[in-house]
Amino acid sequence: MKNKKITRKITQGVYALTTNNGGCIVDAVSQISAGANPLISVAVMKTNYTNELLKNNKTFAISVLDETVNSDIINTFGMNSMRNINKFENTETIEIENIKVIKDSIGYMICEIIDSIDNDTHTLFIGKLIEADVFNDKKPMSYAYYQENKNDLIKVTTEKGKIAWVCQICGYVYYDDELPDDFKCPMCGVGKQLFKRKEN
């Protein structure tokens, strides 16, 4: 392969994916058909708890985030797992079709899951759009914008007096003196080489 980095030039956005009892931040969302109820696809990492939930739930919601979104939302939904915290506790949401959508967003799409395809790392969930609304005309955040501004968007603070390893891709923090050689980020899947040591 001459240069795989071209894949980073695929234009993607930043979204909060929610479903019953969970949710996460995703970038791979596409509209894949037209009509009154178009199909929307979203890819979710297999190691992600939200993936487990989607395999049992019938619907999901995509909230479109904008460039000025409160960083707490990206932190809460992107850097944590419902295995450990309740993401909805400190996030303002609106309940639509029995799913919580993010209030601080440009709008939402509610989809009924009709199919899913597993690959090595991700599951592609395909949903039929059953409800949607636009809240405002703010500028949608692109994945490129997120990458350029992620230091501000995910202000990672680590606990004092502890050695922390921070994932440079998603901001996940692992506390220990050393990172195991085969360590993989539980949030985004990258290896040890993309973690930076931080001590404060």
Q: 72 CB contacts (<8 Å, ≥6 apart)?
A: 90, 91
| Residue whose CB is less far from Fe ion, 68 or 191 | 191
Q: Judged by CB under 5 A, how many residues of this single chain contact Fe ion? A: 7
The correct pick among 50, 141, 188, 195 for binding Fe ion (CB under 5 A) is: 188
CB count, 10 Å around CB of 97? 13
Q: Based on CB atoms, which residue is closest to Fe ion, 95 or 120? A: 120
Question: How far apart, in whole angstroms, are the C-alpha atoms of residue 197 and residue 199?
Answer: 7
Binding segment toward Fe ion, per CB under 5 A, in 2-10, 56-64, 73-81, 182-190: 182-190
Q: How far is the CB of 48 from Fe ion (least distance, A)?
A: 11
Which residue, 98 or 147, is less far from Fe ion as judged by CB?
147
- The C-alpha atoms of residue 174 and residue 195 are separated, in whole angstroms, by 9
Contact between 187 and Fe ion by CB under 5 A: the answer reads yes
Q: Which two tokens stand for residue 173?
A: 């923090």
Please state the closest distance from residue 195 (CB atom) to Fe ion, in A: 8
Closer by beta carbon to Fe ion, 26 or else 99: 26
Contact stretch for Fe ion (CB under 5 A) within 28-36, 113-121, 139-147, 185-193: 185-193
> Given the rule CB under 5 A, which of 50-58, 72-80, 119-127, 177-185 is the region that contacts Fe ion?
177-185
CA–CA gap between residue 45 and residue 113 (Å, rounded): 17
**Residues 134 to 173 in contact with Fe ion, rule: CB under 5 A:** 167, 169-170, 172
Q: Where are the alpha helices (DSSP H) in the chain?
A: 49-56, 71-78, 143-153
Neighbouring C-alpha atoms within 13 Å toward the C-beta of 85 = 14
The H helix count followed by the E strand count for the chain is 3, 12
Residue 44 Cβ vs Fe ion, minimum distance, rounded to whole Å: 14
43 within 8 A of 51, measured Cβ to Cβ:
no
Contact positions toward Fe ion, by CB under 5 A? Answer: 167, 169-170, 172, 185, 187-188
